[in-house]
Structure 1
Amino acid sequence: MDSAPRVVAELAANAALHGRVPGRDFRLTLTVHSRTLRIDVADARGDRLPVCPRAACEGPAESGYGLLLVEELADRWGVDAGRVSSKAVWAELGLDALR
């Protein structure tokens, strides 16, 4: 049950920190379809795509482990390019695993 809030928190924090454009907010959307929770976080920085978590963890670093956490907790995750310089980072979690 802790997985979904952690994934939401990580994706929202990434959008606030890395996807911020003055005067524009990020958008969080939660949907359920066929026993799967989909978490979408869209921001205005389509030019800044997330780095593959495994590649980011090749050496010691103080940050950059958030998407590694998302990768471990979610069944699937990815990035969709949006319209007009935006992107959405999404993650899907099976509801059966959230008990």
Structure 2
Amino acid sequence: MNGRFVRIDEMHRPDISISVDGARFLARADDTVLVAVLTNATELRESEFGDGRRAGFCLMGACQDCWMWTRKGERIRACTTAVSAGLDLLTIPPAEATWPSQA
């Protein structure tokens, strides 16, 4: 098993390539980022509060446990953001992150 999630249906949707920390992950069209990442890995991100790795919790945008960052520093919620071709994500905030403050 490569990831925490195992896809058992909807194999007909086209593949989309995304990048997470420089690694290429295959997703399916209409996947959320959370599904795409956890189909390829066991965790989503490192907590910015220093309390360990995270894999999401509520899966519906309420718990704040699935924040990820684009390479440009934008913060996204993995459970409610759809994948798009060429999406370039990070599991820790980049220096250009707009939240939380890096000062």
- Say which structure, 1 or 2, has more relative contact order (CA 8 Å, 6+ apart): 1
- Using structure 2 for the length normalisation, give the TM-score: 0.27
